Amino acid sequence: MSDLFWISRAGMHELAHLHFADAEASYADAAYVMFGVPYDGTTSFRPGARFGPRAIREASFNFESYDPSTGLDLYEIPFTDLGDLGVMKVPEELVGQVEDVAGEIAGDGKVPVMLGGEHTVTIGAVRAIRPDVYIVCDAHLDLRDELDGTPYSHGCVTRRILDLGVDDVIIIGARSGDREQFEVAEAMTRLYTADTVRERGIGAILDEILEEIVGRSVYLSIDADAIDCCLTPGLGTPEPFGMTPLDIREVVRTLAPHASGFDYTEVAPFDAGQTATVAAQVVREFIARHWTAAR
Ligand code: MN
Ligand code: MN
């Protein structure tokens, strides 16, 4: 396995799914450390997010190294890809695994960039980072206290993060949840629904958020289903009338410089590749924008 990994790094792109394109740095040199979590053990509707990391990595080889919006070649940025976690089945154990890995990366002064997997993986990363502000783009509120017998379901992610005592939770793009979840959202979070994004425009919303996060640490999580399922249908829990890929890119371009951790989750790649392709490009945007701002 380690030989294959090394060979793929030497440029045999048929093995490209083993690492993200242009992730050429060693761990020691890397400022950004990517890892995949191929887990969909609590999926409530359509399984498949376990194949997300591989699909996102494959899609990453479609792109030019050059990013014209920052003027950087991606390989100039020190980032590495550790590959995929060998995941536990039990969701609370899986969350603990992610917490350990993300904690080690952050403890080494590097920014974790996680590829899901279903959204449950985010709980572990946020536990490790302990940000002041958690910002998530998601069709769903994910504010259930429990779903299908577990408090670590992908439908409970934002609720578990509230439990951690993060100062502020900001949800962008939501359009699905039961009455109780909307009540919790009203009381405990800042909610910009998908309709609000459409009415006000993502730029105005981001201006408002930027004012609030000055000097505070941020974790940014993208659930792929924030985007309208008619545009990116490779999703376990698809919802129409959502955000656009351009909205998500704008969120990431704007907030990446402030983020100390990032993930892209819930890509279940049984479409024609749209969902993983958007994810791969957005991950590149995160790294390029964060690096540009940090220099
Ligand atoms: Mn979610
Ligand atoms: Mn969702």
Tens digit of pLDDT at every position of the chain (295 positions): 344 343 344 444 444 457 999 999 999 999 999 999 999 999 989 999 999 999 999 999 999 999 999 999 999 999 999 999 999 999 999 999 999 999 999 999 999 999 999 999 999 999 999 999 999 999 999 999 999 999 999 999 999 999 999 999 999 999 999 999 999 999 999 999 999 999 999 999 999 999 999 999 999 999 999 999 999 999 999 999 999 999 999 999 999 999 999 999 999 999 999 999 999 999 999 999 999 998 8
pTM of the model: 0.94
- Strands, E assignment, 127-268: 133-137, 168-174, 190-193, 218-223, 259-265
CA of 173 to the centre of ligand 2 (A): 10
Q: What does DSSP say about strands 66-67 and 32-37: parallel, antiparallel, or unpaired?
A: unpaired
What is the residue type of 57?
Answer: R
CA of 140 to the centre of ligand 1 (A): 6
Ligand (nearest to CA of 263): 1
CA of 119 to the centre of ligand 2 (A): 7
CA of 105 to the centre of ligand 1 (A): 23
Q: How many Å apart are CA 130 and CA 179, to the nearest integer?
A: 29
